[in-house]
Chains A and B, each alone.
Chain A
């Protein structure tokens, strides 16, 4: 996996965890889970963000504010953000996660799931 993609996936999953911990804390507590302060998560989020290349992070933040989820999986050749089929050239490339790819239609960063 491309090192910047590793960081983007980590950042994306952290962003989501923070969002769900904020919006869904009551539900988790109801189920019997402990939910403490979010401070360490926001610190981890900032630490990961610092490691992302400046231009890539700027694009990530822009996509995040536009779509909510700036990184989306590609399943069966379909971008799970805009549901557009990826061009054959892109979809058949070997080692797709070894480079940083984006959707030609919506611009989101793509994580290619194994098929």
Chain B
């Protein structure tokens, strides 16, 4: 599958989106995002450990108020994208040292013959470059509108 075959907006669902994250620390924010996977409690705990380890390897805050926490895990059988937004922002050790507000959490299964994981990661990283400080994504309250806006940005890539 080529990069053009992956459509980010189609990977997002309102059930896996929280546009009003309440967390007040990086770990609790990741926990809030992981809760949207719907996995059982122990599986969520393992996934959270995995994501924290990935952040220790180097922050996934790529600047412009965007962070893309990501990992592979046995716990899910398909690539999963979770969206979160913190209106006040969260210190995420981002490259530009600014708080992150938009979070794209990507979890992929180890078995990924078409390498969707890296392709999706790359596409979201590209998409993040199109997001400016005044982007509607920071203010939209309707999940459907949010997904449409992602689609608009994606069409520019």
Contact = CB atoms under 8 A, between A and B. Distances in A.
Interface of A: 1, 6, 9-10, 12-14, 16-17, 20-21, 24, 27-28, 31-36, 38, 40-41, 44, 69, 71-73, 75, 80, 111, 113
Given A32-B95, A34-B59, A20 B53 contact: no
A17 B77 contact: no
Contacts of B46: 6, 9-10, 13
Contacts of B59: 33-34
Interface of B: 40, 42-43, 45-46, 49-50, 53-54, 56-60, 62-63, 68, 71-77, 95, 109-111, 118, 121-122, 125, 128
A111 B74 contact: yes
A80 B111 CA distance: 8
A31 B49 contact: no
A14 to B, nearest CB: 6
Given A36-B58, A41-B53, 16 more contacts: A1-B40, A1-B42, A10-B50, A13-B74, A16-B110, A17-B53, A20-B72, A31-B122, A33-B59, A33-B68, A40-B57, A41-B56, A41-B57, A73-B74, A111-B75, A113-B77
Q: By CB atoms of chain B within 10 A, which of A1, A32, A44, A113 has the most? A: A32
Contacts of B109: 73
A27 B95 CA distance: 17
A21 B57 CA distance: 8
Contacts of B110: 12, 16, 69
A102 to B, nearest CB: 15
Contacts of B68: 33
Contacts of A32: 62-63, 95, 125, 128
B49 A38 contact: no
Contacts of A10: 46, 49-50
Contact of A75 (B56, B77, B125): B77
A73 B77 contact: yes
Contacts of A21: 57
A34 B53 contact: no
A10 B77 CA distance: 16
A17 B43 CA distance: 17
B53 A33 contact: no
Contact of B50 (A1, A13, A33): A13
A28 B128 CA distance: 15
